[in-house]
Amino acid sequence: MVPGLKSFKESFSDFMDQYVIIGGAACDIYMESEDSFFRATKDLDIVLIVEALTPEFVSKFWQYVQTAGYQHIDKSKQKPEFYRFSKPISKEYPAMIELFSRPPYNVELSFAANVVPIHVDDSSISLSAILLNDEYYEFMKSGRISIDGISILDYQYIIPFKAKAWLDLSERKISGESIDSKNIKKHKNDIFRLSALLLEGKSLSLPDKIAEDMLEFITKVADEPVDMKSLGLKGMKVESLLELIRQYYMLR
């Protein structure tokens, strides 16, 4: 379990329609519910559902931040906004929370006057850009599930998000930006871990833009080295998993 997740769950049990946990934490929560292991993660990446957001949620969240004693409260300068909260007073709280939001806002998101400009890392920039796309945002909302009282993005929906992040980060690195290769590799490895869970005979239809991105991912990642054994996928082949992805998402 993600450290500190219990306190988050207890605090926001009445607000599951107003947020969704994505990324590694969501994968970890899902895998744990299936008695499996994903990979260690200490952070919570949370997307606010702006259409459902209420002042009560914002008030509750700020109360949680204060109680946790987060020492660093940072805010991005870009749109969509996100806040980063880190270094809580104890392990009862997540080591870091990144809270993402996109316009339009129906409540004020300014949690405090003492926020400082955030140092935006590669993955955060990529996610922010993806959330600005209406198709990805609506797709995310349709993929929310509840596990043990926590709102997360189901793994079948996480795969396209990670594929898009992998494409964006890879392209930016090729164009000369200083992108950490570990972030690119992390998304790729996560996709293969998650794709092994996809069930043959099942399917999920994607919006046109997301389907195009998934096809581009399959084409480009096919030439990438993947250590299947280290991912716990010994005996599986990259080609087989990519074909499973193609079939599951009905890609032509």
Exposed / middle / buried, residue 202 (Cβ in 10 Å: 0-12, 13-18, 19+):
exposed
Please give the pLDDT value at position 126: 61
Which residue, among 242, 247, 240, has the nearest Cα to 203 in the 3D structure? 247
Please give the pLDDT value at position 54: 87
Give the mean pLDDT per block of 10 residues along the chain (252 residues).
90 96 89 77 86 88 90 64 82 89 61 43 60 86 96 96 92 88 90 91 95 97 90 89 96 89
Q: For Cα atoms 232, 146, 67, give the angle at the middle one, nearest 5 degrees.
A: 95
Which residue, among 6, 10, 54, 20, has the nearest Cα to 136 in the 3D structure? 20
User: Which runs of consecutive H residues, i.e. helices, occur in 34-113?
Assistant: 55-68
